[in-house]
């Protein structure tokens, strides 16, 4: 059973929303709908297994933030179904919905949403206070979460004393302290400076290796999506393409997706397995690399060796080889005329 699933999900704002859904189902393009309505989410269908980081990305107006707010029913769908652990949100009473939000789903917002007159540890403990935990128990859990996100020693500071990155860590710690299975993260790192943002991405991946949460992560940054996502859904009202980072980079569905991928650093997304070529010779004496090594980490070994690099699986069985030619080919993109151009490898 999936941790989270949606089927035929629509959200249309404005008068005549139900008729707009019927028109969309009949094949009417979004741009031809009545000007009285705005179709934000159109016919979304996907399942998210437990422990996956599922990234939703798109430009402003693509419906990604509307989608994530529907996943815990902060916004009600116009049509369709959402299931969390097999429970249909549309069939829940208000009390049961509140309990599901409290026990199953936590949300991390872009703008921190911290209480200004509470300390770091008190902010982190706030959700546990609502759950009814004793002061001692909730503060103990909050301190554990504060340590987990790297804010040890900052427990008694107020939000005004924190940097933007530290405030976002408090928001993440609050979600972790709630100990829910599902985390919904809406542009959680978008307001941060680039270096702090990278640190937060690394922090999230480290925590995921420890905690194995189910995470829905909203972003407009494809580099961020490809760094952290197990799968990525690219949206433009509808889901235009859903797949792994390698699927999207190597097999874009259309020009909309291709435009997103044009500026991505492929060397930090593609792996040895994705770019290798078949090898039928004698593997004896060849230097080996594992299938999951990024292309960016292959430059030095491939250039310093006179022979191909042998790509092996977890059992050390040969899968293929990487050569300078395969690396150059893997970094090729297409220019505006459809002709391949090559990105230079870092020195």
> Is the pLDDT reported for residue 341 higher than 60?
no
Tens digit of pLDDT for each residue in 275-333? 999 987 777 778 899 999 999 999 888 888 888 899 999 888 889 999 988 888 877 75
Q: What share of the chain has pLDDT > 90, as a percent?
A: 63
> Is the pLDDT reported for residue 335 higher than 50?
no
Instruction: Count CB neighbours of 60 within 10 A.
Output: 7
- Report the pLDDT averaged over residues 205-220: 95
H helices, E strands: number in the chain: 13, 15
**3-state DSSP of 103-143:** HHEEEECCCCCCCCCCCHHHHHHHHHHHHCCCHHHHHHHHH
- Write b or e for each residue in 164-177: b if 16 or more Cβ atoms lie within 10 A of its Cβ, otherwise e: bbbbbbbbbbbbbb
Domains in the chain (CATH in brackets) are: 4-115+181-261 (3.40.50.300), 267-342 (3.90.1280.20)
Tens digit of pLDDT for each residue in 2-21? 999 999 999 999 999 999 99
Nearest-10 crossing angle of helices 120-131, 135-148: 130
> Is the pLDDT reported for residue 92 higher than 60?
yes
Q: What gap in Å lies between CA 198 and CA 207, rounded to an integer?
A: 14
Provide the 3-class DSSP secondary structure of residue 152.
Answer: coil
The pair of three-digit structure tokens given for residue 23, joined into one six-digit string: 């028109």
């Amino acid at each position: 059973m999936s941790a989270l699933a949606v089927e035929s999900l629509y959200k249309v704002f404005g008068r005549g929303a139900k008729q707009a859904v019927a028109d969309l189902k009949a094949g009417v393009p979004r741009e031809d709908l009545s000007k009285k309505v705005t179709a934000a989410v159109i016919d979304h269908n996907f399942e998210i297994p437990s422990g996956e980081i599922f990234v939703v990305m798109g430009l402003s107006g693509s419906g990604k933030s509307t989608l994530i707010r529907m996943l815990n029913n902060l916004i009600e769908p116009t049509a369709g179904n959402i299931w969390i652990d097999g429970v249909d949100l549309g069939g829940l009473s208000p009390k049961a919905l509140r309990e599901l939000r409290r026990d199953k789903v936590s949300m991390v917002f872009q703008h921190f949403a911290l209480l200004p007159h509470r300390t770091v540890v008190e902010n982190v403990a706030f959700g546990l206070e609502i759950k009814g935990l004793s002061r001692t128990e909730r503060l103990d859990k909050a301190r554990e979460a504060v340590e987990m996100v790297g804010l040890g020693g900052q427990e008694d500071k107020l939000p005004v004393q924190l940097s933007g990155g530290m405030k976002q860590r408090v928001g993440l710690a609050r979600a972790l302290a709630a100990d829910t299975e599902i985390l919904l993260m809406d542009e959680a790192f978008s307001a941060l400076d680039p270096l702090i943002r990278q640190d937060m991405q690394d922090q999230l991946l480290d925590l995921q290796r420890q905690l194995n949460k189910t995470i829905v992560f909203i972003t407009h940054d494809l580099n961020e999506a490809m760094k952290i996502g197990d799968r990525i859904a690219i949206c433009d009202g509808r889901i235009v393409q859903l797949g792994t980072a390698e699927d999207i980079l190597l097999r874009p569905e259309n020009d909309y997706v291709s435009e997103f991928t044009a500026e991505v650093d492929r060397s930090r997304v593609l792996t040895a397995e994705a770019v290798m070529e078949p090898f039928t010779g004698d593997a004896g004496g060849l230097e080996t690399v594992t299938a999951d090594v990024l292309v960016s980490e292959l430059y030095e070994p491939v250039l310093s060796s006179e022979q191909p690099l042998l790509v092996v699986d977890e059992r050390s069985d040969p899968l293929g080889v990487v050569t300078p030619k395969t690396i150059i080919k893997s970094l090729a993109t297409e220019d505006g005329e459809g002709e391949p151009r090559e990105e230079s490898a870092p020195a």
